[in-house]
Amino acid sequence: MTLEQQHVVVVGGSSGIGLGVARAALEQGASVTLVSRSTDKLARAAALLENPGRVRTCAADVTKEDAVRQLFEALPPVNHVVVTAVEARYLGIREMDFAAARRIFDSKLMAAFHVARHARLQPGGSLVFTTGIASVRPMPNGSVIAAVNGAIEAAVRAWALELAPVRVNALSPGWIDTPVWDAIAGDTKGQVFEQHARRLPVGRMGTTSDLGHAALFLMSNGFTTGEVLRVDGGHPLV
């Protein structure tokens, strides 16, 4: 499994799963472009990766189609794109703020459509989108996230046909220790993680390294397309 001399674009690469994917790609010899809306977060992420010769950053709002088109027009030839960006919020249906719900749709689902439309990849290239456990095991107040994840999984199967020979797959994480959980669980994060880890067959929470390794498989395996790779510690089983 190698990405030697290949160019990987990670949308949402300034933190969390995206940063883990970027680190894994660098370890396999790729050059990486990190994409995020925040130039400050991009600068911090690039510093953490400690590989200035093979790390590029680009600030872009992927909820806007023109920004995505301009992004890919400006980049050097791209082999793989991994999209991990999302604005994660949990909204109960009875009291739902539909403007906030639309922002979630835009940040994950419409961003995926923009990338699928405008990414231009080298032969043998791939697109990897991120869904999540909510598509099969939603949390209370999680209907928007569940709907978005399910929609991306359906779209991936269609795009695998429409965009062939480009391979199109999805990575579906379970509960992964990322900064997103600081906002979701706050001060109770440690307790929530401990309880959840005890339920999982693997007995631990997921890490960004777990997801980075899985993304490497989807980028490198030339016979895999239209698939949803679940990396969730057996969460659907419990």
CB contact at 8 A, 32 and 13: yes
What is the tens place of the pLDDT at every residue in 14-37?
A: 999 999 999 999 999 999 999 999
**Averaged confidence pLDDT in the chain:** 95
155 lies in which domain range?
Answer: 7-230
* CA angle 30–129–40, rounded 5-degree value: 65
What is the tens place of the pLDDT at every residue in 224-233?
A: 999 999 999 9
Residue 213, H or E segment: helix 208-220
Distance between CA atoms of 48 and 43, rounded to whole angstroms?
9
Indicate the pLDDT class of residue 5, thresholds 50, 70 and 90. very high
Residue 94 maps to a domain = yes
For the entire predicted model, the pTM comes to 0.95
Indicate the pLDDT class of residue 134, thresholds 50, 70 and 90. very high
142-151, 185-194, 222-231: segment of lowest average pLDDT: 185-194
Q: Domain total for the chain?
A: 1
Residue 107 maps to a domain = yes
Residue 2 maps to a domain = no
Residue 235 maps to a domain = no
pLDDT of residue 189: 87
Q: What is the CATH number of the domain that holds 180?
A: 3.40.50.720
Residue 238 maps to a domain = no
Residue 236 maps to a domain = no
Residue 85 maps to a domain = yes
